[in-house]
């Protein structure tokens, strides 16, 4: 595009901006002023360059292209992650139907799969899934073997699941031989009074440390 062509486009943009200003429904439209500002920028750019506009050498256009490409990559990554979460949620649903969920070790990202199952259920808490994650977190199974995963769980799981896990871990330290079925009350307490259950877990942990 030459300087003269850009100047003509700028004049057109000014014309349409004047037309739009006469209509209330178009006066607040931001596209017109943005287009006008862009043509003004291009005309000024050509005035300083050799008179020929090439978008491939326009730093602003190149920055926009880089930003658009990065945004597209983020959308694709989000779509891939959404698909992965949906597949894992299907796996967990199949395992629970088979009665094998409690024998399964959690993987990285299962917190998102838990959220997907809850969403599919219309927001209702999935007690068996929450209990499974709490027990795995308390016993440090699957990806919860790593401290980083356990720390991350604090921001990925709801308070009742976290307090359930903390209470189970504290009880297991006090009574190592206790069976999971003997501590069903831990989940009930965590669901009903998560803050109180968390305080109880902290108290039991302190009592255990003082006895050591």
| pLDDT tens figures, 142-180 | 999 999 999 999 999 999 999 999 999 999 888 888 887
pLDDT given at position 44: 73
One domain, residues 39 and 99: no
Residue 148's nearest CA partner among 108, 202, 104 is 108
pLDDT-flagged residues of the chain (< 70): 1-4, 6-7, 18-32, 47-54, 57, 210, 212
- Tell whether 205 is covered by a domain: yes
One domain, residues 40 and 75: no
Number of domains in the chain: 2
Full-model pTM: 0.67
- Tell whether 174 is covered by a domain: yes
pLDDT given at position 100: 95
- Tell whether 83 is covered by a domain: yes
One domain, residues 15 and 42: yes
Residue ending a domain, choose from 33, 53, 73? 53
Residue 2 in contact with residue 53, Cβ under 8 Å?
yes
One domain, residues 101 and 72: yes
- Tell whether 191 is covered by a domain: yes
One domain, residues 7 and 107: no
Domain with 36 in it: 3-53
The per-residue DSSP string of 78-102 comes to HHHHHHHHHHHHHHHHHHHHTT-GG
């Amino acid at each position: 595009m030459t300087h003269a062509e850009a100047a003509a486009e700028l004049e057109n943009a000014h014309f349409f901006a004047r037309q739009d200003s006469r209509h209330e429904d178009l006066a607040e439209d931001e596209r017109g002023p943005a287009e006008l500002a862009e043509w003004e920028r291009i005309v000024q750019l050509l005035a300083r360059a050799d008179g020929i506009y090439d978008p491939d050498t326009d730093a602003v256009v190149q920055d926009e292209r880089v930003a658009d490409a990065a945004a597209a990559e983020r959308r694709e990554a989000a779509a891939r992650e959404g698909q992965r979460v949906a597949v894992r949620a299907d796996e967990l649903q199949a395992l629970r139907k088979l009665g094998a969920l409690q024998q399964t070790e959690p993987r990285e990202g299962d917190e998102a799969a838990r959220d997907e199952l809850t969403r599919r259920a219309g927001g209702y808490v999935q007690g068996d899934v929450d209990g499974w994650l709490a027990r795995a977190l308390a016993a440090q199974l699957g990806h919860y073997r790593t401290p980083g995963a356990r720390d991350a769980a604090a921001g990925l799981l709801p308070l009742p699941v976290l307090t359930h896990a903390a209470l189970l871990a504290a009880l297991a330290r006090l009574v190592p031989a206790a069976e999971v079925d003997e501590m069903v009350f831990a989940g009930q307490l965590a669901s009903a009074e998560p803050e109180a259950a968390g305080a109880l877990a902290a108290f039991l942990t302190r009592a255990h440390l003082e006895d050591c």
